[in-house]
Chain A
Amino acid sequence: MICPVCKKDMFVVEYKQIELDYCHSCKGVWFDAGELELLLEAGGLKEAKQTLGDVLKLPEARTSEKKRRCPICTINMKKVVIGGEKGVMIDACIRHDGLWFDGGEVADLIKIISAKATGKKETESEIMGFLKDVFGG
């Protein structure tokens, strides 16, 4: 897979049987829709199919940040804010191919999740929890 930011090859990180695509130079992470589904199903969230739909229903974030193209379908992705009010802006593929986290965004997300530490089982917290598992240690 080609990094949508640096246009370089990414490599794959598998942890607890879930795969992420990771860019070595910009530290960006691609979370593929299929992997997301596996993660949420393993976490006992039934509505895994809706996940990306939920994220995509969030309002388009107003920003000057450059639009990124989905590494799978090459269509411009939608910028949305996850993790509540002061959350992190990520890119979501409008064709439900997956989610893109810029290099800094993963670290920011991990900070948020550490501060909040909600016990609730939710799509967003599952995603952030897993990213923390992989990149937080």
Chain B
Amino acid sequence: MWEQIRANRVRSIILVILMGALLVLIGWIIGMVFAGNAIAGLVIALIVWGFMSLIAYFQGDSILLGVAGAKKIQPSDHPRLYNVVEEMKIASGLEKMPDVYIIDDPALNAFATGRDVNHASVAITSGLLQKLNRDELQGVIGHEISHIKNRDVLLMSMCGVLLGTIVILSFYASRVMMFGAIAGGGGNRRSSRNSNGGGGGAIIIFIIAILLMILAPIFAQLIYFAISRKREYLADASSALYTRYPEGLASALEKLAQSSIPVKSATQATAPMYIANPFRNKNVSVNDWTSTHPPIQERIRILRAMGGGAAYSNYDQAYRTIKNTNSGIISDNTAAAVGAVGLRAAVAEGPVETAAPVDDKMTRTREVNDMMYRMNDYKTIQCECGAKLKVPPSMQGGVIKCPRCGRTHQA
């Protein structure tokens, strides 16, 4: 497993270096244009980047969880979810149990965060928790845990910071330059200081600078997306390996694909953290290189084409078949290190389609909703007529009349 992390890391690092080079380039141009001194620009770029990185490193997870409105849960709040996270923690060989969070949102999604394996969290929306059976939940959590295990979270947040810095710097620099060009008119003050004679040369540098300012963020974004997509495939492969049951994740992704509710609190920068693209739109098949996630249908097809095994080599083979390519997603020595791995059977709850899915779904929905009510301090009253009244804290203390039978209750 270490081999695989290393091999993938090398490829990712090359891409990160490319992004870093873009940042350096931006800084250099800013320095040249505004101060006539490349070093000054570099220093500014690095200070902005360093500052943002520190925030992202130490506060990134709490910011992300806070923005998403995630609430931490205890084992007793939802034993099944907590158990599944623990199972995947064991299967992946993580040493520390990640914190488990729940997001009150009907959208279907989940993400992992935390700067390293010892400061990690997984979060899942209440909508997804309701929709998934045990096997599917295990697949999704396996995917998230593998983001933690493969150190994707840190990689992606650091890349996010790089991307953010590039976007911010080039945005403001290009605005200031445009403004300066218009306000400066015939180029009397600034350009005469920058270029010692040769006004034409200054204009060319200026145009190149503007072009770069526009192109750099786009390039950075594409690199970012490329890194992100690779990590998603790898996380799917790891999930299949941990659970020994690729169908669980495949079936969960199918449910995700059917839903078109966007995640309320997702932003472009946090998108790669989610298990599926949080801005998904049913009518657009996001199937190009401007996407943070590989198309969900393709991920499902790969998982289902794994045949009789759950090893990396099976996933790699399936990836090649589905993508019709010779270059796999997982390095050869990785696949060899893990060897052949068989599948397991579905859990007692039954294969995904059979075994009274409606009842299960209803029970799960009530289970999850009741947990959300408990966490929001609702009070439940059982009325004699068979209805249950769940009263929010603001209405407690008053008298509640059951709308079904008219009996009154002290809330």
Q: Which residues of A contact B (CB under 8 A)?
A: 9-17, 19, 22, 24, 27, 33-34, 38, 41-42, 49, 72, 97, 134-135, 137
Contact = CB atoms under 8 A, between A and B. Distances in A.
Nearest to A1: B392
Given A14-B387, A41-B361, A137-B405, 15 more contacts: A9-B395, A11-B395, A11-B400, A13-B404, A15-B404, A17-B362, A22-B403, A24-B401, A33-B106, A34-B127, A34-B365, A38-B361, A38-B362, A41-B358, A135-B404
Contacts of A16: 386
A38 B385 CA distance: 21
A130 to B, nearest CB: 12
23 contacts: A9-B392, A9-B394, A10-B392, A11-B391, A11-B400, A12-B389, A13-B389, A13-B390, A14-B366, A14-B388, A14-B389, A15-B386, A17-B362, A19-B369, A22-B403, A34-B130, A34-B365, A38-B358, A41-B358, A49-B258, A134-B387, A135-B403, A137-B385
Interface of B: 106, 127, 130, 258, 358, 361-363, 365-366, 369, 373, 378, 385-392, 394-395, 400-405
Contact of A17 (B366, B390, B401): B366
B385 to A, nearest CB: 7
Interface of B, helix, strand, loop or mixed by DSSP: mixed
A15 B388 contact: yes
Contacts of B365: 34, 38
B164 to A, nearest CB: 28
Contact of A13 (B130, B361, B388): B388
A19 B401 CA distance: 16
A97 B261 CA distance: 9
A32 B378 CA distance: 18
A22 B387 CA distance: 12
B390 A11 contact: yes
Contacts of A41: 358, 361
Contacts, number: 67
Among B366, B373, B387, find the residue whose CB has the most chain A CB atoms closer than 10 A: B387
Contacts of B385: 137
Contacts of B106: 33-34, 72, 97
A92 B267 CA distance: 28
Interface of A, helix, strand, loop or mixed by DSSP: mixed
B403 to A, nearest CB: 5
Nearest to B358: A41
A45 B358 CA distance: 11
B118 to A, nearest CB: 37
Among A9, A10, A12, A38, find the residue whose CB has the most chain B CB atoms closer than 10 A: A12
Contact of B389 (A11, A17, A72): A11
A84 B130 CA distance: 34
Nearest to A17: B362
Contacts of B394: 9
B279 to A, nearest CB: 14
Nearest to B357: A41
Nearest to B406: A137
B395 A24 contact: yes
B390 A14 contact: yes
A52 to B, nearest CB: 12
B387 A13 contact: yes
A65 B361 CA distance: 37
Contacts of A13: 387-390, 402-404
